[in-house]
Amino acid sequence: MNMIKRNIIIALLICVGVADLAATVHKGKKGVILSEQSLRDKVKGAWAGQTLGCSYGGPTEFKFLGTIIQDHVPIPWDKHRVKYWYDVFPGLYDDVYVDLTFVEVFEKCGLDAPIDSFATAFKQKEYPLWHANQMSRYNLLQGMKAPESGYWKNNPHAHCIDFQIEADFAGIMSPGMPNQAAEICDRTGHIMSYGEGWYGGVYVAAMYSLAYVSDDVEYIVKEALKVIPEESDFHKCMSDVIRWHKKYPKDWKRTWFELQNKWSEEISCPEGIHNSFNIGTKINGAYILLGLLYGQGDFTKTIDISTRAGQDSDCNPASAAGILGTMIGYSNIPEYWKEALCDVEDIPFSHTYMSLNKAYDITYNHACAMLKKYGNEQIGTDFIIKKKSIKPVALEIAFENLKVGDKLSVEKSIDDVNPFSFEGTGLVVKGYVAGGLPAEYTTEMEVYMDGKLYETTYLPQNNNHRKCELFFCYDRPVGKHTVTFKWKNPVANGKIWITEIITYTEK
């Protein structure tokens, strides 16, 4: 009976234009048939591609800032390269292990797991984190709840790349369902990101989702962008990449230069202010598109171009290769790349119980459950994935009406600068606590603004619990302000050092 029903449905789908697994949704089709074998292959291709892209770009990460990695510069690769990174620097795979933390939560708590479940799991992990992720973990450990932990006034790194590199799981578990992928991103991405930082993850997840139901890279890139509000700078930047690709279809470097000219300015991440370093979501998201569009479905070209665009050059090829790996499936990734996974597929990623082989199986199960939950019919071992209109997520604007006023290199202790003044509406103070302090020690520092206590900030020595900056605020009225720091629990030989002061004014 099932076979009869299946044949009838297939016949009906053929009548509306869906005839085989290669069918895509961009030609007016009503749905796509995805077999169990194909679904498994694509899930596996997603995780494998992400891991391979990250491994390939590892040697170049943030070594080429505001410049292309020229073709004559060799990037080493061999069949033991992935195992090398597993052994020498497992923190390279923050792209993957944060993803897998959220996969673990879904496995434990089900598809409707609330944001608090993800935030709790995230803050308890002791793997290395940076930028928006680390600031979010600090906020959570200090008692702040999500999504406040990722909101830009609580997290100067809210526009950083962090969620863009770890939203893969949301798309991998949502085959052909970009709206559902975006909803998962809402529950997870706002833990550490807001505005552009969140949009990067939503867009990447949507591309993964559509890569299950289309074999056309250009369609995937364009269609997925519908999930992002057109008014946002992130949408405008990605649209520019698409437009420039059409104008310069054979020259990715020309498009790279256009991006550098228009979109490379950084006003949020303190490390990128007046600096060639750029960990912003927009520019790095654009480099993902460079690989996808100019790679033309070729796995090697896709990874290489996203890497040679520079900046976060392990994360960007990881996203590009993961999306392409989903589209073509694991079975179509060249053996030259896949053989490097043989040494590691049963080794758990840092501070997780998840290996690649477990990720393949568990995410496949989650994908099947999502397909069933959202009304995609299963006939035998085949899923019929329905086409639905993509809805844009809500508009979010961070660092609104702010511009960088000044950046001062200081290299003085707080005793040598108290009090100091600044003109503007916002302030970020970078620095650190030093003096051979015990690992369990936490500095307590009061911050006075214009003579009144503004906040008491806590500065743990534990590197995984650290605060990324000594102090920041973005909500002062326009004008001149005086700042004073007071160390509440000083210890012998200890010093609180200030390295940089960044001020913001209104546009």
Tell me what pLDDT residue 491 has.
92
Select from 136, 127, 125, 138 the least CA-distant residue to 467. Answer: 138
Task: Please enumerate in sequence order all residues whose Cβ is within 8 A of that of 376, keeping only pairs 6 or more positions apart, or say none.
Answer: 176, 177, 383, 384, 385, 386
Average pLDDT of the residues of the chain: 94
What gap in Å lies between CA 441 and CA 40, rounded to an integer? 48
Q: Kindly indicate the confidence band of residue 27, based on its pLDDT and cuts at 50, 70 and 90.
A: very low
If you average pLDDT over residues 216-231, what whole number do you get? 98
Check if the beta carbon of residue 310 is closer than 8 Å to that of residue 62.
Answer: no
Burial class (CB in 10 A: 0-12, 13-18, 19+), 307: buried
pTM of the model: 0.94
Run of H or E residues at 88: helix 81-88
- Type of residue numbered 372: K
CA triplet 498, 502, 507: central angle to 5 degrees? Answer: 170
Q: Kindly indicate the confidence band of residue 71, based on its pLDDT and cuts at 50, 70 and 90.
A: very high
What gap in Å lies between CA 33 and CA 20, rounded to an integer? 7
What gap in Å lies between CA 320 and CA 298, rounded to an integer? 11
Check if the beta carbon of residue 409 is closer than 8 Å to that of residue 500.
Answer: yes
Q: Kindly indicate the confidence band of residue 30, based on its pLDDT and cuts at 50, 70 and 90.
A: low
Q: What is the dihedral of CA 36, 41, 43, 44, to 10 degrees?
A: 140
pLDDT at 93 over 80: yes
Number of other residues whose CB lies within 10 A of the CB of residue 32: 25
Tell me what pLDDT residue 439 has.
87
Backbone angles phi, psi at 133, to 5 degrees: -60, -50
Q: Kindly indicate the confidence band of residue 436, based on its pLDDT and cuts at 50, 70 and 90.
A: confident
293 vs 7, residue with greater confidence: 293
If you average pLDDT over residues 367-396, what whole number do you get? 96
Which domains are delineated in the chain? 7-386 (1.10.4080.10), 402-506 (2.60.120.230)
pLDDT at 164 over 90: yes
If you average pLDDT over residues 307-315, what whole number do you get? 98
The percentage of residues in the chain with a pLDDT greater than 70, rounded to a whole number, is: 94
Q: Give me the residue label for tokens 């806590």.
A: 458
pLDDT at 460 over 60: yes
Tell me what pLDDT residue 24 has.
33
| Per-residue DSSP letter, 352 | S
Tell me what pLDDT residue 16 has.
36
pLDDT at 323 over 50: yes
If you average pLDDT over residues 194-204, what whole number do you get? 98
- Of the given ranges (3-7, 135-139, 185-189, 369-373), which has the lowest mean pLDDT? 3-7
**SS3 category, 68:** coil
- Report CA torsion sign: 278, 280, 286, 290: positive
What pLDDT, in 10s, does the model give residues 234-245? Answer: 999 999 999 999
Select from 269, 284, 277, 497 the least CA-distant residue to 404. Answer: 269
- Type of residue numbered 407: K
pLDDT at 15 over 80: no
Tell me what pLDDT residue 28 has.
36
pLDDT at 38 over 70: yes
| Per-residue DSSP letter, 478 | S
If you average pLDDT over residues 169-192, what whole number do you get? 98
pLDDT at 504 over 50: yes
Select from 403, 415, 420, 414 the least CA-distant residue to 483. Answer: 420
pLDDT at 9 over 80: no
Q: Give me the residue label for tokens 């390295």.
A: 499
If you average pLDDT over residues 125-129, what whole number do you get? 97
The percentage of residues in the chain with a pLDDT greater than 90, rounded to a whole number, is: 92
